[in-house]
């Protein structure tokens, strides 16, 4: 382990040791879904500590939950910056710049902590590519949603992801699917309907959903569908993180996310805009600063998210991620004067309650078995 890695480990940040990974048996074709790393209710890094280290375990859990809360705050701030940028730039340009910044910082972060950006030797990189692709697709859909929907509504629909995770975890990881999981998923879909207010149900227009001060984002009937699809892609990415487990440092996840996002957004920009040249020369210093802040805030949020997932149990960690929804409504009101309707508040409450109940139930079940 390098000196940088040792220093990061000293302050409580989980560090992946390539030397340890070299002797870890890895099946590139089928990673055992029943292993401790793939248990959705277990931390991703290492086995549970012995009885004499309860204080250390509690401290580790607290740090992990703090990381998750910070990631929620930073993701919400990033969403505010994306929405501001969307008034000037096409969303694909925002995604591309954000991706380039994240990839560059990810490679630098890997060098700093002493791990290989492309992942540990002997590990099938297709898992990391798939994780990065799923996350990148979800990112593009999420940015499209934020630009074309009120902030609180878009983020609320996007964060139905944990409900879909239970179903996907059953299919891909063989984890049990309980009646509570099914009920929570159905409840989340009802919450999405209340937030998005589809015209064929409510017989009104999407732009009547909020009182938004000009300049308002253009009404787009595909925005809610994009948010829902992005939520499913985030669930796929989460299951892939569980599948990979502690075999790859969280900074490697961040790097692959940035790399695949850069590739996908670049191709999409060429297909839909007909040009890969981003007109940097037309941007003001303030516009460059906002786009750079999008990438930096997203990178730091990704670091906190992946580290938090590896340090804390999935149940409480999911609850911390739901803070995004709360921050979104607060920031939407503060920065964009988006006053939510009663249906949006009720739908958000249903989604919050559904994801929270599933998370707490799985955490409680794991505690009983321990």
Report the alpha-carbon distance of residue 365 to residue 359 in Å, rounded: 10
Q: Per residue in 49-82, pLDDT tens?
A: 455 566 777 677 778 878 888 888 898 899 999 9
211: helix, coil or strand?
strand
Q: Which residues have a Cβ under 8 Å from the Cβ of 269 and sit 6 or more positions away?
A: 92, 93, 96, 275, 276, 278
pLDDT at 260: 93
State how far the Cα of 276 lies from the Cα of 266, in Å rounded to an integer.
7
5, pLDDT greater than 60: no
* Sign of the alpha-carbon dihedral angle for 30, 33, 38, 40: positive
Are 145 and 158 a contacting pair, CB within 8 Å? Answer: yes
CA 3 to chain centre: 30
| Distances from the Cα of 150 to the Cα of 232, 261, 273, 303, 325, angstroms | 20, 24, 25, 27, 12
Q: What is the pLDDT of residues 151-203, one digit of tens each?
A: 878 888 887 777 787 788 888 878 777 788 788 888 888 887 888 676 656 66
Q: Which two tokens stand for residue 320?
A: 């911390």
Give the pair of three-digit tokens for residue 16: 């992946």
Encoded tokens for 293: 């802040």
What lies within 8 Å, CB to CB, of 139 at 6+ separation is 95, 98, 99, 230, 257, 261
Is the pTM above the cut of 0.85? Answer: no
When comparing pLDDT for 241 and 18, which is higher?
Answer: 241
**Whole-number Å distance between alpha carbons of 249 and 44:** 11
pLDDT over 90 at 111, yes or no? yes
């Amino acid at each position: 382990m390098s000196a940088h890695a040792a220093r990061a480990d000293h302050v409580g940040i989980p560090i992946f040791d390539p030397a340890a990974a070299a002797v870890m048996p890895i099946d590139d074709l089928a990673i055992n879904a029943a292993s401790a790393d793939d248990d959705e209710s277990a931390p991703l890094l290492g086995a549970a500590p012995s009885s004499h280290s309860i204080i250390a375990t509690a401290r580790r859990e607290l740090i992990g939950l703090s990381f998750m809360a910070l990631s929620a705050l930073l993701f919400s701030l990033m969403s505010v910056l994306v929405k501001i940028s969307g008034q000037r730039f096409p969303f694909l340009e925002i995604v591309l710049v954000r991706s380039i910044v994240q990839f560059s910082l990810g490679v630098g972060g890997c060098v700093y902590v002493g791990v290989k950006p492309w992942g540990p030797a002997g590990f099938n990189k297709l898992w990391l590519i798939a994780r990065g692709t799923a996350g990148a697709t979800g990112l593009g859909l999420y940015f499209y949603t934020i630009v074309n929907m009120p902030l609180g509504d878009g983020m609320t629909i996007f964060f139905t992801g944990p409900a879909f995770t239970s179903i996907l975890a059953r299919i891909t990881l063989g984890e049990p699917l309980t009646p509570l999981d099914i009920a929570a998923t159905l409840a989340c879909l009802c919450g999405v309907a209340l937030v998005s207010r589809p015209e064929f149900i409510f017989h009104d227009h999407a732009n009547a959903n909020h009182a938004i001060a000009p300049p308002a984002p253009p009404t787009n009937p595909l925005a809610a569908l994009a948010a829902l699809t992005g939520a499913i892609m985030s669930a796929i990415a989460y299951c892939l993180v569980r599948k990979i487990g502690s075999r790859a440092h969280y900074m490697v996840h961040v790097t692959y996310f940035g790399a695949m996002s850069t590739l996908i957004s670049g191709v999409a920009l060429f297909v839909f805009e007909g040009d890969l040249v981003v007109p940097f020369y037309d941007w003001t210093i303030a516009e460059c600063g906002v786009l750079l802040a999008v990438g930096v805030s997203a990178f730091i949020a990704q670091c906190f998210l992946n580290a938090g997932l590896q340090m804390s149990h999935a149940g409480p960690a999911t609850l911390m991620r739901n803070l995004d929804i709360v921050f979104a409504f607060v920031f939407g009101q503060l920065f964009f004067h988006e006053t939510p309707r009663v249906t949006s508040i009720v739908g958000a409450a249903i989604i919050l309650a559904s994801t929270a109940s599933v998370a707490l139930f799985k955490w409680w079940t794991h505690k009983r078995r321990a």
